[in-house]
Amino acid sequence: MSDLYNSYKVLKNNEGQAVQTIPSYEVAEMMEVEHAKVLRMIEGDKTHIGIIPALRKAQLGVSEYFIESTYKVENNNKIYKCYECTKLGCDMLANKMTGEKGIVFTARYVKKFNEMIEDPYKGISTELRAILMLDKKQQEIEKRVTGIENKMTIDYELAENLRNAISSRAVYLLGGKYTDAYKKLSKKLFAEFHKGLKTSFKVNSYKNIAQKNYDDALKYIENWKPSEMLVYAIQGLNGQLSFEY
């Protein structure tokens, strides 16, 4: 049987989902060959290049085919090397076989993977099943928390901070509260300002900006600039040749 920790690492791969694999010693049984021969096919030796070296040479992801692992034999404390073979890995191994043996091996591993699709936890120890189920539950909780955080909007105090920041930036851009530009163009500038803010953060009001986006909203306000036409109008009313925006 595979070591629990190594099995967990393999099955927890791919964002916590159970990865469908067959250990190479089981592959050897399906092929009706010694495990050492399967390892040579995967790793290669002095006489021929193996699948893994060929994949690495082509800069292809080895873990999509084989995941290095270990296992123990019953009544033996020695740890042996093996590989967890994905369906792609088994396809690679099947390509190295010809004739009746290749057909039989293909039939066996395809059937095995189909069984795992129907029940991803089939053949897994009670301990490992419990760990994976706990992981799944934890992921569901994290998704719910993330969903709540995404929906949580700013409170009254933060909304007031944004409102004050918008007002301060607008007054600055209009050249002050007592300028002609402020008297005649403040409504237009505020409308343009709020429209840009709502569009950028996909809300119907700055009060509904997500709490997680508060800092970004402040930065947006601090750096916001009116349209080019509005800039010229402000400069014209204030009798300015230029104004830094």
Torsion of CA 20, 25, 30, 33, to 10 degrees: 150
Residue 1 in this model has a pLDDT that exceeds 60: no
* CA dist., res. 107 & res. 105, Å (int): 5
Give the model's pLDDT for residue 42.
94
Which of 9-13, 98-102, 202-206, 228-232 has the weakest average pLDDT? 9-13
Can you tell me the mean pLDDT for 7-33? 70
Give the model's pLDDT for residue 130.
72
Higher pLDDT pick, 172 / 139: 172
Instruction: Work out the pLDDT band at 2, boundaries 50, 70, 90.
Output: very low
Instruction: Work out the pLDDT band at 171, boundaries 50, 70, 90.
Output: very high
Give the model's pLDDT for residue 144.
80
* CA dist., res. 111 & res. 105, Å (int): 10
* CA dist., res. 147 & res. 101, Å (int): 51
Residue 115 in this model has a pLDDT that exceeds 70: yes
Residue 12 in this model has a pLDDT that exceeds 50: no
Identity at 194, one-letter amino acid code = H
21-37 pLDDT per residue, tens: 889 999 999 999 999 99
* CA dist., res. 225 & res. 113, Å (int): 58
Give the model's pLDDT for residue 83.
93
Closest by Cα among 13, 30, 24 to 97: 30
Give the model's pLDDT for residue 203.
93
Q: Taking the model in full, what pTM does it have?
A: 0.45
Residue 217 in this model has a pLDDT that exceeds 50: yes
Strand ranges across the sheet with 66-72: 22-23, 79-85, 66-72
The residues, ordered by sequence, that sit 6+ positions from 17 with a Cβ below 8 Å of its Cβ are none
Residue 56 in this model has a pLDDT that exceeds 60: yes
Give the model's pLDDT for residue 185.
95
Give the H or E element holding residue 85.
Answer: strand 79-85
Instruction: Work out the pLDDT band at 224, boundaries 50, 70, 90.
Output: very high
Residue 3 in this model has a pLDDT that exceeds 50: no
Give the model's pLDDT for residue 119.
65
